Amino acid sequence: MGTLKEAVAVVTGASRGLGAAISEELAAGGAKVVVNYSRSKEPAEELVSKIEEAGGEAIAVQGDVSDPEQAQALIDKAIERFNRIDVLVNNAGINIDKTLKKLTVDDWDKVIQVDLNSAFYTVHAVLPHMTEAGGGKIINMSSFVGEAGNIGQANYSAAKGGLLGFTKTAALELARYGITVNAICPGFINTDMVAAIPEEAKEKLLKSVPLRRFGEPEEIARAVRYLVEDGDYITGQSLDINGGVYIRT
């Protein structure tokens, strides 16, 4: 693509945290952003206002992308408003952390549905539009936990690891249509999730990070923008942005 000017980007789970930072970064580059949210209407609308005040263009669209019909409706609304979709960022995610002894079937299903299945639903819905347009960029937000595993996160780890396999297969299948598919694997990032961790536990986590700090949402957002603007020859890859907490061999 080379530029975000006039591009249309759909970001799922975009009302706060990483999704909000990604939406702002893409809008700053000139993209028209579809800010998807499930329940956080007010933060999503505040984000849209912030983007507009900065001279960008955005709309907030409600939709629980863990439901295939709502995921389809999200894509349909984006097409109805902007007539195209150039970028899809699958960022929606939740975590329900428990050890396997305490993890329930419902705990497992909820996380898999939101963190993994939603990516298939949105990609399935956007595919006809990207193929017709002759290309597009799909970016799936995974996690270092999907690569390394983590105690108390069997469901989250399985979902994020599944996203990596999905990314590779989608990249192989969609390259012929000019569509690139990549994943980003963040480490511990300063979001609401990290802010909720007790200080003592947070200090222990920091000691596990070689760079001795948590990442910032803006650092992840800039990586998304890089893949969109400069990643034409990058597909099927996972980009680790984790401060060294997990280093692949």
**pTM of the prediction?**
0.96
Residue 113 C-alpha from the chain's centroid: 15
Q: Is the pLDDT of residue 1 over 80?
A: no
Strand partners of residue 88? 10, 138
What is the Cα–Cα distance from 40 to 30, expressed in whole angstroms?
A: 25
pLDDT score, position 177: 98
Find, among 163, 181, 161, the residue nearest to 171 by Cα.
Answer: 181
What is the Cα–Cα distance from 218 to 140, expressed in whole angstroms?
A: 17
What is the Cα–Cα distance from 73 to 69, expressed in whole angstroms?
A: 6
Q: Where are the domains of the chain?
A: 8-231
Decide which of 199 and 67 is more confident. 67
pLDDT score, position 21: 98
The answer to whether 142 and 238 are in contact (CB under 8 A) is: yes
Q: What is the side-by-side strand order in the sheet with 32-37? A: 57-62, 32-37, 8-11, 87-90, 136-141, 179-186, 238-241
What is the Cα–Cα distance from 160 to 54, expressed in whole angstroms?
A: 33
Rounded percentage of the chain residues whose pLDDT exceeds 70: 99
pLDDT score, position 88: 98
The answer to whether 153 and 192 are in contact (CB under 8 A) is: no
Decide which of 5 and 194 is more confident. 5
- pLDDT tens, 11-60? 999 999 999 999 999 999 999 999 999 999 999 999 999 999 999 999 99
Phi, psi of 47 (to 5 degrees): -65, -45
The residues that are catalytic are 156
The answer to whether 36 and 11 are in contact (CB under 8 A) is: yes
> Could you say which architecture CATH assigns to the domain 8-231?
3-Layer(aba) Sandwich (3.40)
Residue 249 C-alpha from the chain's centroid: 25
